[in-house]
Structure 1
Amino acid sequence: MSARAPEPAVVPLAAPVTVPLPRALPPELRPFVGHLPAETLAAAAARARRLGVGADEVLVAQGTVDSATAARLFAAHLGVALAELETDPPAFDTAMAEAMLRTGVLLEAPAGLRPRYVVAARGREARRLFRALKADGSLPGRLRLAPPEALRRTVARAAGPAMTARAVTALLQARPLLSAASLRPARALAVIAGAVAALLAVLLACAPGEGLLATQMLLSLLFLSWIALRFAGCLFQPPEDEPALQDERTLPLYSVLVPLYREAASVPGLVAALSALDYPPEKLDIKLVVEADDADTRAAIAALRLPPHMEEVAVPAIGPRTKPKALDAALPFARGSFVAICDAEDLPEPDQLKRALAAFRRGGPQVACVQARLAVDNGADSLVAGHFAAEYAGQFDVLLPVLSALGLPILLGGTSNHFRRRVLEEVGGWDPFNVTEDADLGIRLARAGWQTRVIASTTYEEAPVTVNAWLGQRTRWLKGWAQTLMVHGRRPRALVRDLGPGATLALAVLAAGPFAAALVHPLCVAVLAVDVVRGVAGVPCTSPAEVLASALAYATLAAGYAGTVATSIVGLRRRGFAMRWAIALSIPAYWLLLSVAAWRAVVELARRPHFWRKTEHGLARRRAATGTPVRSSASAPPPPRPAAAWN
């Protein structure tokens, strides 16, 4: 693993002093006196007071000096040595590596000698270091300074593989029953299929008509409950968000993790979107998380001049090659007390971090996660992308807000999730072996007693534009939902104890309903087709049970289509769009595609349960033309996108 941040060019260090220095110069600015203009130092001190950070952090974040130059000036000012970590790397284990990342201090303790330290201090830590050196006259001889970025690179290079290996197995070892790695999906599917087949055989042998009707009623109840929740969302008006926080002094250090794999085409637009975030760069820590052997993506990152608050974290090829594995491996390198996740194609609204913090503060300490709304901005690229856009509008602008208001478990959206870092680590982070780590993490948070809130801030995403790309992505999603159901459903009593009966029932409806509907949808269509043929041929139904079973199939189909249309219309209207007739009329065909994806997911779950089917991004026509995020106010729905985004 490696962490890299290209250094900006430093300004000349012999600039003239034209403005008197501030009377109360922060101690962390003293090393720069005589090297930077007085007005630059005064401006840095003023901004540092306004933000509540160190003035040297301001200079580095603005690119006035680079990290290496700052460390060199500090060392010269304090009379201490500068650590040469590149040529003389220290030895340490993974526990010490994680301690170094948390504290910025490496303890060197040769046998029989007094301890020596390598310290990467900046901001308030630099002030504490100044006081310690003043209080202990022997400390300068036992201390070496290093830039924080250099210390992180050293940790990544020396301990990255071991840290990644530990991250891969951490959840499995700590909570084996909550890890998809402990599943045996092929065996579980065989048991489930055998049990269902045996039950159906008994029912049909004892009472064929009644057995068919009972099965149809059970499935219809599951589907109609799911549809009822969607209709409830249509009637629910989400409350307005709290205004975005404006007092920048109280803002915490915020980390944003961006997992990338074969995303070279998306990198320039992604960096532009992240650079547009309305958050002080001194308090922003963005990690571009890449696979170590992904040469194209790493080259695309290296070709850009990343700002000082962004850096690459390269993850070794250890364990499954999945997004959650990459996130777990990168989390120790994140510095923030809050952590957000973004995907390669994301265009988040600039004030999203501040609005997420406002939601955390409004919800109180029991709120551990805030989910921003996701919206597709390339719905005009193809019919399947249009369906995806309508589907997302129904999910994030209709269904999730009502679930949030009711305090029910939320299957997270995979991106634009914002977490309290402490809680994220407490519940075990992401499951590296679950291919929908977002859904699983949302349930684990709920089972641990934490709440999730949904905010109106939007992140714009790119939908797949071809059927093959859509099918691959949806197969992975459905496979992951099945994994998640198996993981959390294998101990039903524990699940009910953790969530309560009502939330458990809601979870079953939300997670099992769409999957089961996709699996049996062809059967319902077949029932309809057979009845049509029989009606045309004049063949009557032979029993009341047969008539009722057919009626339930028709009602379920009609309610399903109607619910999908209703939630899509309401969701798109909340986004300022109208439902296209082509989308509404082709919903039956889209549902058949969902069925294909569901059955592919079952087969893949048995054969390749942890395989991550990659979705290519950077292909949308509108993204190629613009690639910029859209701003909206915090108190109103986002304004309509340009017509090309939908019509």
Structure 2
Amino acid sequence: MSSVFTVDPRGNCGRSDESSASTETLAGSDPRLDEAVYGLRSRTPELSAATGLWSWQRRSLAVLLATLCIGAVVARETTLTALLAIMAAPFLCVVMLRTVALWQLRRRSLDGATPVASDPELPLYTVLVPLAREEGIVPQLLASLRAIDYPAERLEIMLVVECADALTQLALQRASIDAHMQIVVVPEGDPRTKPRACQYALQFAQGDYVVVYDAEDVPEPDQLRLAVAALKAGGSRMGCLQAQLNIYNSDATWFTRQFTVEYTALFDCILPTLERLQLPVPLGGTSNHFPRAVLEAVGGWDPYNVTEDADLGIRLAREGWHVGVLRSTTWEEAPPSFRVWKGQRTRWLKGWMQTYLVHMREPGRLWSELGTRRFIGFQVLMGGMILSSLVHPWFYVLLAVDLWQGRLLGVPDSVFGQWLLGIGLFNLIAGYVSAIALGTVAAARRGRLRLAAHALMMPVYWLGISFAAYRALWQLVFAPYYWEKTEHVGRADAEQTERPVTL
């Protein structure tokens, strides 16, 4: 029999059970909810986004903004030169990372796979599926979960829904979920985020390993078996495996094509390169496979961080755990319209900003825990992504103004200024070329060479990312924990025909 975990029936989430499921009632105040919301915040407040900016960070940002404003008025050229000099290094490092990723693609085969664990070796596996207003996608979700090649008696699937989400709860109950599936109803409260739901459900989990899937996910059937084998082979410090993510509706719209090129380059090329270089790996929001003991030891997910995945990847690195990339794909749905894409990308960038600011509260401690090389990698990857998203459109504005005035970027006519101009132009051109090349090669390896021409539109797509970055910055100040829900419609086809990739 399946189970429904609910809250006090005297509260506004109490409900009758319309299925054959048994019900476990958590009467009174729920200590599990307190742990989900306040656990990380109370034990390690310096690692929780709930506590906001520290005083020294606020003062530093105020001084920086004041300096830039004054400099722009009284010493425009000097200020611009200083900014270009500061930004040149991280942008150059990003270009180098893409180049290394391209180079390493030459040594990776498309054949071969991690050995699949046999049934006697398989431990109990918990699958967490947080759902929010996903009633329309329940049939696809259950079909994907039922397709997982793993013994049902060793599989614990938790369908996690908010208590106010009556439609999704009803859709799950009417779908006659399997005996190894449980509906976990998260009590009312704030912040109303995915990590809060996952952190609540984790406390019911019994599995030795835990994976998180999203509602629209279609994981390859043998992914859990592959994960068991890879986690065991990874040694005692293997803390997480990130499966490759890719897109099943890649040809739907211009946005889905751009998203597919971007995702393929990230999960097939960039993340494996970070793993090989032993740099911090910011996790994707789904298909993260953990030993449950490790996940609990690092505090689980931060309910106040809207990209809890990236934050958790950095916390794992700080505590010395290794993050690997699993040779298995989970197929996802790309946002088909600007409206849907804008909300999702805003949340991602806001979460990256939260993650960067949280981990930079104590830079010396972060440096000590990561080491110099990984500390620099964190600055380039996390800081560089945020900085480039905010700066990118202003380069075009500056270029247009200066060309109108017969100048080039306002750089002083000196040896240093000319060197700086050369580096800046190199970063711009090499940045575009390396990103387009990486996206093209990655898409081709997935059997999607037809998307190569769309990679040429990346600079336009990046302007959209910049728009989302400024929207994220606004929300970071005025609505830091607001979760913009991504709408899903599901896949129309029954079978995924794209080519799998082995790293």
Deviations 1:101-159 (A, max 9, x none): xxxxxxxxxxxxxxxxxxxxxxxxxxxxxxxxxxxxxxxxxxxxxxxx85xx32x4336
SS at match of 1:503: helix
CA distance in 2 between counterparts of 1:592 and 1:421 reads 40
Find the partner of 2:135 among 264, 267, 271. 264
The answer for the alignment partner of 1:220 in structure 2 is: 88
The answer for the alignment partner of 2:396 in structure 1 is: 525
- Asked whether the equivalents of residues 256 and 342 of structure 1 are also in contact (C-alpha less than 8 Å), the reply is yes
SS at match of 1:257: strand
Find the partner of 2:170 among 291, 299, 304. 299
CA distance in 2 between counterparts of 1:478 and 1:538 reads 31
- Asked whether the equivalents of residues 273 and 628 of structure 1 are also in contact (C-alpha less than 8 Å), the reply is no
Find the partner of 1:455 among 313, 326, 330. 326
CA distance in 2 between counterparts of 1:456 and 1:246 reads 14
- Asked whether the equivalents of residues 209 and 543 of structure 1 are also in contact (C-alpha less than 8 Å), the reply is no
CA distance in 2 between counterparts of 1:271 and 1:235 reads 40
The answer for the alignment partner of 2:355 in structure 1 is: 484
- Asked whether the equivalents of residues 161 and 318 of structure 1 are also in contact (C-alpha less than 8 Å), the reply is no
CA distance in 1 between counterparts of 2:454 and 2:403 reads 25
CA distance in 2 between counterparts of 1:244 and 1:220 reads 44
Q: Which has the larger radius of gyration?
A: 1
The answer for the alignment partner of 2:413 in structure 1 is: 543
Q: CA deviation at 1:530?
A: 2.6
State the AA in 2 paired with 1:616: E
Find the partner of 2:27 among 158, 161, 182. 158
Question: Which 10-residue stretch deviates more, 357-366 or 277-286?
Answer: 357-366
The answer for the alignment partner of 2:216 in structure 1 is: 345
Alignment of 1:33-432 (within 5 A): 150=22, 153-154=23-24, 156-158=25-27, 161-184=30-53, 191-200=59-68, 209-236=77-104, 237-238=107-108, 243-432=114-303
- Asked whether the equivalents of residues 163 and 187 of structure 2 are also in contact (C-alpha less than 8 Å), the reply is yes
Q: CA deviation at 1:525?
A: 1.1
State the AA in 2 paired with 1:515: I
Question: Which 10-residue stretch deviates more, 248-257 or 196-205?
Answer: 196-205
- Asked whether the equivalents of residues 430 and 441 of structure 1 are also in contact (C-alpha less than 8 Å), the reply is yes
- Structure 2, gaps ≥5 residues long: 10-20
SS at match of 1:616: coil
Find the partner of 1:442 among 308, 313, 316. 313
- Asked whether the equivalents of residues 223 and 514 of structure 1 are also in contact (C-alpha less than 8 Å), the reply is no
- Asked whether the equivalents of residues 33 and 187 of structure 2 are also in contact (C-alpha less than 8 Å), the reply is yes
State the AA in 1 paired with 2:211: A
SS at match of 1:4: strand
The answer for the alignment partner of 2:14 in structure 1 is: none
The answer for the alignment partner of 1:55 in structure 2 is: none
SS at match of 1:399: helix
State the AA in 2 paired with 1:311: Q
State the AA in 1 paired with 2:37: V
RMSD: 2.8
SS at match of 1:458: strand
TM-score (norm 2): 0.90
Q: CA deviation at 1:184?
A: 3.8
Find the partner of 1:493 among 339, 359, 364. 364
State the AA in 2 paired with 1:460: W
The answer for the alignment partner of 2:456 in structure 1 is: 585
State the AA in 1 paired with 2:32: M
CA distance in 2 between counterparts of 1:250 and 1:310 reads 22
Identity %: 42
The answer for the alignment partner of 2:17 in structure 1 is: none
CA distance in 2 between counterparts of 1:517 and 1:539 reads 17
The answer for the alignment partner of 2:4 in structure 1 is: 4
CA distance in 2 between counterparts of 1:280 and 1:588 reads 47
- Structure 1, gaps ≥5 residues long: 6-85, 88-148, 639-647
Q: CA deviation at 1:425?
A: 0.5
CA distance in 2 between counterparts of 1:553 and 1:613 reads 35
Find the partner of 1:560 among 403, 415, 431. 431
CA distance in 1 between counterparts of 2:96 and 2:409 reads 35
Q: CA deviation at 1:424?
A: 0.5
Determine which structure has greater relative contact order: mean sequence separation of CA pairs < 8 Å that are 6+ residues apart, divided by chain length.
2
CA distance in 2 between counterparts of 1:205 and 1:602 reads 24
CA distance in 2 between counterparts of 1:163 and 1:462 reads 32
CA distance in 1 between counterparts of 2:72 and 2:396 reads 21
SS at match of 2:30: helix
Deviations 1:45-76 (A, max 9, x none): xxxxxxxxxxxxxxxxxxxxxxxxxxxxxxxx
CA distance in 2 between counterparts of 1:630 and 1:304 reads 27
Deviations 1:204-257 (A, max 9, x none): 789754442232021121112112112211111347775342420111000000
SS at match of 2:27: helix
SS at match of 2:203: helix
CA distance in 1 between counterparts of 2:154 and 2:462 reads 45
Provide closer, same or farther for how the CA distance between residues 534 and 510 of structure 1 changes in structure 2, counting only shifts above 3 A: same
Provide closer, same or farther for how the CA distance between residues 292 and 627 of structure 1 changes in structure 2, counting only shifts above 3 A: farther
SS at match of 2:282: coil
Alignment of 1:501-512 (within 5 A): 501-512=372-383
Q: CA deviation at 1:380?
A: 0.9
SS at match of 1:333: coil
Provide closer, same or farther for how the CA distance between residues 344 and 541 of structure 1 changes in structure 2, counting only shifts above 3 A: closer
Alignment of 1:573-612 (within 5 A): 573-578=444-449, 580=451, 582-612=453-483
CA distance in 1 between counterparts of 2:410 and 2:235 reads 62
Q: CA deviation at 1:531?
A: 3.7
Provide closer, same or farther for how the CA distance between residues 492 and 335 of structure 1 changes in structure 2, counting only shifts above 3 A: same
CA distance in 1 between counterparts of 2:474 and 2:397 reads 22
- Asked whether the equivalents of residues 242 and 362 of structure 1 are also in contact (C-alpha less than 8 Å), the reply is no
State the AA in 1 paired with 2:210: V
Question: Which 10-residue stretch deviates more, 603-612 or 159-168?
Answer: 159-168
Question: Which 10-residue stretch deviates more, 318-327 or 580-589?
Answer: 580-589
Residue 626 (1) aligns with residue 493 (2): yes
CA distance in 2 between counterparts of 1:463 and 1:307 reads 28
CA distance in 2 between counterparts of 1:195 and 1:286 reads 50
Matched length = 485
Question: Which 10-residue stretch deviates more, 570-579 or 267-276?
Answer: 570-579
TM-score (norm 1): 0.70
- Asked whether the equivalents of residues 306 and 351 of structure 2 are also in contact (C-alpha less than 8 Å), the reply is yes
